[in-house]
A and B are shown apart, each in its own frame.
Chain A
Amino acid sequence: MARLTIEGIAPDGAISLEPLRRTLTNPTTWIATAHSLVTAVGGTFLAVAIGGGVAVIVSLTDIRGRDAFVFFFVMPLLLAPQVVALAWLQLFSPSSPLLKLVGAAPLLGARNPLYSAMGIIIVLGVQYAPLSYLMLRAALRALPRELIEAGRSGGASPLTVVRTIVIPLMTPPVLAAIALCFVSCLGNFGIPALLGIPANYVVLPTLIYQRLSGFGHTVLPDVAVLSLLIGSIAVIGIVAQDALLRTRDFRITTATSTARAFELRRWRVPVEIALWALLVVVLAMPLLALALTALVPSAGVALTAHSATLENFRFVLFEHAAARRAFGNSFTLAAAAAIMIVGVAIPLAYFLVWRRSRLLRFVNVITEIPYAVPGVVLAIAAILLFVKPIPIIGISIYNTVWIILFCYLARFLVLGLRPVVSGYHQLDRTLEEASQIAGARLARRLRTIILPLIAPTAAAGALLIFLTAFNELTLSALLWSSGSETLGVVFFSFQQGGDSTYAAALGVLTVGVSIALMVSTLLLAGRLPSGVLPWRD
């Protein structure tokens, strides 16, 4: 961040307010900022409304099929945002095979309605609804049943209880969910890139991308200012949430059994139908549209049993060199990030949880920062840091795959650290003390006692990192170079070049990998502390 500030006000070592002035007086900056705020606020509102409603229903009522529902509902979060955006585009495109089936497709030649601010807001909202759901579900899990029962025995109806007891008590997690969704929406690149750029609707991350890919290094000071701007908006959001929380005391005094209080009775079946209908609309239909697009020979051709082809898959898997490389790159990068982060997280969490020290608590806060600030900010900071060769060793990692790996490690460390930390909290410390008393030194204790006990949790954390990194675009869009393309980058360039059938085929393949990995973890599920796998209730 310091590097960013310096580049922003003093490029080439001399203090100059020129980039700052140039950027801040450019009307495009303010248009993009306004667009960013509109889409982020709208997307956040939608995400928290959907996620919060679902969290209340899943936590407090007696609906059936909870586990299956949660698995599918959380899924969009683990799919690539740009793939989800393309899926939605295909669903509403004039050539949409799905809408054609029901005869509701827009007229040929009409503009796709999703190429707009509203389109960005809808897809952002769908993408991040699971994020707010996860935060609120965790909070509702900790809500004592007695508080609700006390309200009901006082004569309040279920809806009154939700309004007068549940919602007021949920204020802190709701605010936290709003802040997190806001920061995520603000920093998202894939969705406004796919939906906004064709409509010339530019937000800050896409503005940074366009500047940097259009003008190269000469605009580094300007994009540094832009990324500081987006970073400040994110920080203001988080600070505002913190300030709001201080105004009242929300502490819950009792803590006992989890609430699951309300019987829906005759409303149960309608509510269940509504929930699954939501899944069909936000997940199944877009993904189906994506899959159907991947089967047509080229965009616009009607899909029939006769025209369906696997040619697109063959092309991206075997023919297109960059796509083939990208599979290797993304796979290696995601696996390397997952393994390295977990390798660091296990000893780091040991010291964080079991050896309290001020320095380590500071480290803990530090690891949260790269995840809280938007990805573009981190990417620009990394470019500035590495654009010149690293001092002393004199090796330049800029324009190589290593700079991407560096950013993955910084950004996703906290994703691996959180589950491992919660795993330590649920581990009985005396197990380690017993081995210490038996004479085992730290390295041996970590290897023989702690590693076997923490391994399932760590594996889940590694998987979370792998899925996120595998589907990532924001960082690599700014950092890639020829030879170090990621799947996200290739997907994006297919789509920008108009080859949406190839993009769809690639998207279907990544979605398939993600879902396969999510399903495979369910085998581990019994050995994990609760709350580690987001897709498991």
Chain B
Amino acid sequence: MARLTIEGLRKLYGEFRALDDVTLAVDNGEFLALLGASGCGKTTLLRQIAGFDRPDAGRILIGDRVVSTPERHVPPEQRHIGIVFQSYALWPHMTVAQNVAYGLDVVGIKDPERARRVDAALALVDLAGFGDRRPALLSGGQRQRVALARCLVTEPSLVLLDEPLANLDVHLRASMEEEFARFHERTATTMIYITHDQAEAMALADRIAVMDKGRILQVATPSELYREPIDETVARFIGEGMIVPFDDAVADGSGHCMANVLGHRVRLRHAAGTTPPVASRACVRESALRVVDAAASGVSARVTAVIYQGGHFRVEAIADAAPNEPLHLDVREPASIRAGDRVQLGIDDGWVLPLPDASLQSGKIRR
């Protein structure tokens, strides 16, 4: 088990910045999810950590050992980490037990120690007695667990999981998610879990690092990420947040302020210990929006679509004051709203986005 420290990592493919000044610290025993859409650079980052690729700038430390800099490169076989590949990468010409034992053979561990550890690893993933089978004869979930056992048998300091559930059906995913969580509890290994599925990341991770265009935008606990996104991109990516302008903000000194949002006074949260700007933009979640009486104070809007989603309707609407930012909210069944109706919307909560320049500037200064 070890810390992982990444400092100012950069990787260029010609002009394209696949990794742009990535800095990240993962604590000992932590379960960190690396979340981003495909093409955001998360697989590139994983290959850097594993050592399949060299960075153009910056460095990577596993524990206290520098493993990657542009000049120094510890090859993957000497990094003592484990990977669960998306394709599982089980060797078809070996049995399950031989697959699992491979890492032990490499370092020269002989029976009975070898057999004992292979059995223990297979038992840990509930595959005791499957040792003599060939990978081709196993189901998707079983292959997944063999891959997990194979990567853990050598007790690596760091385990990388590359979209391990992407090839499984929905039903199996839920049970494998639980399996990973249990597994992390039992072994307390530092784990980095790469995924594009935010529900998966939220369910599993201690912290989530959100990546976009080769940069890490925010590293935070799932709840922080949802409640206090650092910028517009994160706000929109996580939980489909809506961005609305506000002005006339008056702080009350307790991390809240009253502001005018789309012609309606709303209580907004802002970053503790800072003074919020008088006018800027805020993130509003669908759970904070509700339809109020026509007579009550609220944001007046026109409904553009009503979509039934089983038990509730997703209502999409355009506020008169901000026609370029469509709003959406859930309305419980039964509801009499139709497309084209005029409604008043109440806003219960919002989060003042930190000024976009602030993070950008701090980035520039560091460089």
Contacts and interface: CB of A to CB of B under 8 A. Distances in A.
Interface of A: 428, 430-431, 433-441, 444, 448-449, 452-453
A449 B107 CA distance: 16
B107 A437 contact: no
B92 A437 contact: no
Given A433-B83, A433-B85, A439-B107, 6 more contacts: A431-B91, A434-B83, A435-B102, A437-B83, A438-B106, A440-B102
Interface stretch (B72-80, B249-257, B286-294): B72-80
B154 A438 contact: yes
A438 B89 contact: no
B89 A439 contact: no
A430 B85 contact: yes
Contacts of B150: 434, 438
Interface in B133-158: 150-151, 154
A428 B76 contact: no
Contacts of A453: 91-93
> For A439, A440, A452, which residue has the most chain B Cβ atoms within 10 angstroms?
A439
Nearest to A439: B106
A439 B79 CA distance: 8
Given A438-B102, A438-B154, A439-B103, A433 B76 contact: yes
A444 B105 CA distance: 11
A439 B77 contact: yes
> For B85, B89, B151, which residue has the most chain A Cβ atoms within 10 angstroms?
B89
B77 A441 contact: yes
Given A452-B93, A453-B93, A440 B77 contact: yes
A438 B93 CA distance: 17
Contacts of A431: 89, 91
> Which 5 residue pairs are nearest across A and B when measured between Cβ atoms?
A438-B103, A430-B89, A434-B89, A439-B106, A452-B93
Interface string B61-77: 00000000000000111
Nearest to A434: B89
Contact of B151 (A437, A440, A448): A437
Contacts of B75: 436
Interface residues of B, number: 26
Contacts of B50: 433, 437
A452 to B, nearest CB: 4
A517 B150 CA distance: 41
A435 B92 CA distance: 13
B87 interface: yes
Contacts of A428: 87, 89
Contacts of A448: 102
A437 B93 contact: no
Contacts of B107: 439
B190 to A, nearest CB: 15
Nearest to B156: A437
A437 B76 contact: yes
Nearest to B75: A436
A507 to B, nearest CB: 41
B350 interface: no
Contacts of B79: 437
A535 B220 CA distance: 60
B81 interface: yes
A437 B82 contact: yes
A444 to B, nearest CB: 7
Contacts of A444: 106
Nearest to A455: B93
Contacts of A439: 77-78, 80, 103, 106-107, 154
B308 interface: no
A436 B77 contact: yes
A187 to B, nearest CB: 40
A33 B102 CA distance: 61
Contacts, number: 58
A453 B77 CA distance: 20
Contacts of B151: 437
18 contacts: A430-B89, A433-B83, A433-B89, A434-B83, A434-B85, A434-B91, A435-B102, A436-B52, A436-B77, A437-B50, A437-B81, A438-B102, A438-B154, A440-B77, A441-B77, A449-B91, A452-B93, A453-B93
Contact of B52 (A433, A441, A452): A433
Contacts of A435: 91, 102
Nearest to A445: B77
Interface in B85-115: 85-87, 89-93, 102-103, 106-107
A137 B153 CA distance: 48
A441 B107 CA distance: 11
A59 to B, nearest CB: 31
B93 A440 contact: no
A431 B81 CA distance: 16
> For A435, A438, A439, which residue has the most chain B Cβ atoms within 10 angstroms?
A438
A448 B101 CA distance: 13
B35 to A, nearest CB: 22
> For A434, A437, A439, A440, which residue has the most chain B Cβ atoms within 10 angstroms?
A437
Contacts of A437: 50, 76-77, 79, 81-83, 151
A449 B90 CA distance: 11
Contacts of B78: 439
Contacts of B86: 430
B175 to A, nearest CB: 24
A496 to B, nearest CB: 51
B143 to A, nearest CB: 12
A449 B103 CA distance: 12
A351 to B, nearest CB: 15
Contacts of B85: 430, 433-434
A423 to B, nearest CB: 14
A218 B320 CA distance: 100
Contacts of A452: 93
> For B76, B77, B80, B151, which residue has the most chain A Cβ atoms within 10 angstroms?
B77
A281 B87 CA distance: 51
Contacts of A430: 85-87, 89
A449 B150 CA distance: 15
A332 to B, nearest CB: 31
A453 B90 CA distance: 12
Contacts of B154: 438-439
Nearest to B52: A433
Nearest to A448: B102
A441 B76 CA distance: 9
Nearest to B81: A437
Nearest to B98: A448
A448 to B, nearest CB: 8
A437 B159 CA distance: 10
A437 B83 CA distance: 7
> For B78, B80, B92, B106, which residue has the most chain A Cβ atoms within 10 angstroms?
B106
Nearest to B79: A437
Interface string B262-290: 00000000000000000000000000000
B161 to A, nearest CB: 12
A172 to B, nearest CB: 28
Nearest to B50: A437
A452 B102 CA distance: 15
B159 to A, nearest CB: 10
A524 to B, nearest CB: 15
Nearest to B93: A452
Contacts of A440: 77, 102, 106
A243 to B, nearest CB: 29
A452 B91 CA distance: 10
B76 A436 contact: yes
A208 B132 CA distance: 63
B271 to A, nearest CB: 40
